[in-house]
Amino acid sequence: MREGQLWPALQNYWHPVALSKDVAEKPLAVRLLDERLALFRLKTGLVCFRDLCIHRGTSLSLGRIEGDRVVCAYHGWNYSSSGVCVRIPALPPERPIPEKARVEAFRCQERYGLVWVCLGEPRAPIPEFPEYADPAFDAYFIGPTTWNCSAARAMENFVDQAHFAWVHDGILGDRNHPEFVPVDVERHGEELRWDMEEPANPMHPVKHRRVYRMYRPFTIHQRKEREDGEVEATFYANALFRPEKAPAFFW
Ligand code: FES
């Protein structure tokens, strides 16, 4: 099966599509599951439209933002935050705006410095990252980085302990001790959970416990709880918003 065959089902999940800081005064064009989208930071908040003006098919991402409206670059149609056309400059004032003059708007939220979009009906909320808002933690943003593989394969790699001794020998693993202790994985709805005790290694000189939460479709939350009390949390959110190229990844 090709990953593209899964896209109809993947429409019903939240996906990170951009960094919040990259959606500013100008529209931003992105792709999600082969859908061309445009993000706009309006006065009323962030919106995500199909990147296609209903009038003559111009990319709305070529247009501009005026307060709480998106203005198409071609004939200046104005769209409200819900995607409804509220002004057609060429239309005589006595003529009403046609009912069908609207663009498709998708669910869009900002969380953890990322813009998340769901193209369908969300089967699950945006994955949890409680440490992000916890003042006891220092936050570091790494990425985005691009891997030339499917997002599912990248997820697998993140939790694949058996490769540490071979690919990360002397860093995360030890080739003289490649054995992997099996773990018990529990399913909780759209989420898998497990944890494991990890001995000290060259990268982590203190024994620690790793607690994993794997969220459908492509996000992992990992906590490393050291026996000296220090905690490190990683939120690994994979994005499929540029399928014509390699998937891009946010750490
Ligand atoms: S194509 Fe957008 S207003 Fe005409």
Residues 71 and 16 in one domain: yes
* First-to-final CA distance of the chain: 27
Residue 178 — pLDDT band, cuts 50, 70, 90?
confident
Residues 66 and 139 grouped into a single domain? no
CA 114, 115, 120: angle at the middle one, nearest 5?
Answer: 135
In terms of domains, do 146 and 182 share one? yes
Same domain, 7 and 120: yes
Nearest ligand 1 atom, CA 58: 1
SS3 159: helix
Looking at residue 148, its pLDDT comes to 85
The span from the CA of 58 to the CA of 60, in Å, is 6
Q: For residues 118 and 215, state if they share a domain.
A: no
Q: Residues of the chain with pLDDT > 90: what percent? A: 69
243: pLDDT strictly greater than 70: no
What average pLDDT is seen over the chain? 90
Residue 2 has pLDDT above 80, yes or no: no
Residue to probe by mutation, ligand 1, list 61, 70, 74, 84, most atoms within 8 Å of CB: 74
DSSP bridge pairs for 37: 30, 50
Instruction: Tell me the residue range of the domain where 242 lies.
Output: 131-250
Q: What is the mean pLDDT of residues 78-107?
A: 97
Say which residues have a Cβ less than 8 Å from residue 231's Cβ, sequence separation at least 6: 131, 137, 223, 224, 225
Domain count, the chain: 2
Q: Which has more pLDDT, 193 or 164?
A: 193
- Residues 13-36 pLDDT 10s: 999 999 999 999 999 999 998 899
Choosing from 75, 87, 97, 100 the residue with most ligand 1 atoms within 8 A of its CB, the one to mutate for a pocket test is: 75
- Residue closest by Cα to atom 1 of ligand 1: 56
pLDDT at 107: 98
Q: What gap in Å lies between CA 53 and CA 59, rounded to an integer?
A: 6
CATH code of 73's domain: 2.102.10.10
Residue 13 and residue 114 share a domain = yes
Same domain, 154 and 175: yes
d(CA 233, CA 237): 13
Measure the CA–CA gap between 119 and 114, rounded to whole angstroms: 16
Centre of ligand 1 from the C-alpha of residue 18, in Å: 25
Does residue 245 sit in the same domain as residue 226?
yes
When pLDDT is cut at 50, 70 and 90, the band that residue 241 belongs to is low
